[in-house]
Chains A and B, each alone.
Chain A
Amino acid sequence: METNFIYSLLGNNLLGYLAVCILPLVFLIVYALVAILGELKIGAFMQDRLGPMRTGPWGTIQPIAEVVKLLQKENITPDAASKFLFNLAPFIIFTAAFAAFAVIPFSPKFVPSGINLGLFYIFAIGSFAVIGIFMGGWASNNKYSLLGAVRSVAQIISYEIPAGMAILSIAALAGTLDMNEIITKQSGWFTNWYIFGGSGSALRILFLPFTFGIFVIYLIASLAETNRTPFDIPEGESEIVAGYHTEYSGMKFAMFFFAEYANMFVVSALLTIMFFGGWNSPFGDFMSGPIWAVVWFLGKSMSFIFLQIWLRWTLPRLRVDQLMYTGWKVLLPISFVCFFAIALLAMLK
């Protein structure tokens, strides 16, 4: 199956590879601008404010202004920092975030790399970000950065387990780790999505609480893994300035920023793929096809981005002990129960 229209366009050569690499990067930049604006505007609206209004009509080019501002800023490297690692960390974090885009199927005709381990790959590549955060926090030679890094890593490795259980459940349900295959298995009407138990007998209705539960668990765990509110303890401004990126400025800070937005998209895309049928149209054959697929996929992912922003402007930050309680004592046992139930469902099929 040809999963990449670019290869059929440009051929299987270096040019094709380059184009395949660059396309998600272009998308990422455009998306990040939209997401930044969304964050500013939605946050403002939820607080009955108007948000930025002076750059462009209704402040629509505000994100560009922000990026330009970040580019102009001085790139400070603290004297006492471990220079090489300090400068390396943002790149590692951004690379880790961007590497996940390699397996995200935007459309049946465009998957940058259609490996058969997509889900596992995304899960594994996240561990680079952990090291990057550690590197940034340690190399800054600043107690707040170090504390932020330690908190961040503790949080990410705690929430990786429930997230892993959620991914395992979907793997059990789909019988594959290939993203495109997972999506193809959910084709048809929206009742075939894995949040409703996938296609199969009507008996799957009984498992709705479990599939829905594992969805909520993955949603919460993914919020924690991307350090978004209410799990932004690693960058809790009121306690540790800005956590692991306290010392960063200018473009290096922008890399952290971009990485956060890239991660947001990756988890939203994963939620879409694993539970909401990816690029499938919700209405069977109606409005489906490679182009519509992109629309559906981005539409679904963007609604999850909206959900993340919505949650961010609703909930206050958790305390560290609450975070650990939620992770280990609530999400983990429930995810095990859900996993076993879903494994049963997979066996019944």
Chain B
Amino acid sequence: MGNYFRNIWLGVWTVLVGMRITINHLVMRKVTNQYPDRYPDLKSLEEAKLVPTNSRNRLFVDKEDCNGCKGCERDCPVNCISVETTRVTPGDTVPLLRSGGKRNLWVTNFTIDMAKCCFCSLCTQACPTSAIVHTSEFEYSEYNRNDLVYQFSPFSPEEAQVKKDMFANYQAEQAAKKAAAAAVAPAPAATQENV
């Protein structure tokens, strides 16, 4: 019997608690973002909060920080990143990475196909220099699907070709030097080298 009345009391009490909560929310600040009608101004701090800080939107690659390790390319589950690198020719003037590291590779081609991207964020986690990041830019639809392929290489194709040729020349030079050295050196040494 006591239980019966306690149940009734609990029922009434919890309903009242619930009603208090909902009535509080009735007058609370609303969280709705009236997006297409009112565009959130990402530059103002107050409005930028409307886009969650950990939201995953368009990717961006810091060209001066990407060391060309291809970690992102390997980790992407949908293969939408493609990175092409070439070795830095010794003696070339190489700026340090923005994060201070030494650059060993030129990124001659770096494309991200945002039409394929599934926003899993695996690439950003793989990047050793945090060069690839999600931005808060979420409005980037295009009429042509090819326009969604973004290019993040610091070089134009011609410049890239210059770097590639430079390294190819260097390699050819090295090979020529080696060949010359091999010709000069005694035969047994060469066989030894081959072993």
Contacts and interface: CB of A to CB of B under 8 A. Distances in A.
Touching chains A and B, CB distance < 8 Å: yes
Interface of A: 42, 45-50, 53-54, 310-311, 313-315, 330
10 closest Cβ pairs, A-B complex: A50-B32, A314-B22, A314-B18, A46-B22, A45-B26, A48-B31, A49-B32, A50-B30, A46-B25, A314-B19
B30 A310 contact: no
B18 A42 contact: no
A314 B30 contact: no
Contact of A50 (B18, B23, B27, B34): B34
Contacts of A311: 15, 19
A178 B28 CA distance: 44
Interface in B19-44: 19, 21-23, 25-32, 34, 37
Tell which of B22, B27, B29, B31 has the most Cβ of chain A within 10 Å: B22
Contacts, number: 40
A45 B37 contact: no
The binding surface of chain B is classed by DSSP as helix
A46 B27 CA distance: 8
A315 B11 CA distance: 11
B184 interface: no
A150 to B, nearest CB: 26
Contacts of B28: 48
Main secondary structure of the interface of A (DSSP, over half): loop
A42 B26 contact: yes
29 contacts: A42-B26, A45-B26, A45-B27, A45-B30, A46-B22, A46-B23, A46-B25, A47-B25, A48-B25, A48-B29, A48-B30, A49-B30, A49-B31, A49-B32, A50-B30, A50-B32, A50-B34, A53-B32, A53-B34, A54-B37, A310-B22, A310-B23, A311-B15, A311-B19, A314-B15, A314-B18, A314-B21, A314-B22, A330-B8
A200 to B, nearest CB: 28
Contacts of B23: 46, 310
B25 A53 contact: no
Contacts of B26: 42, 45-46
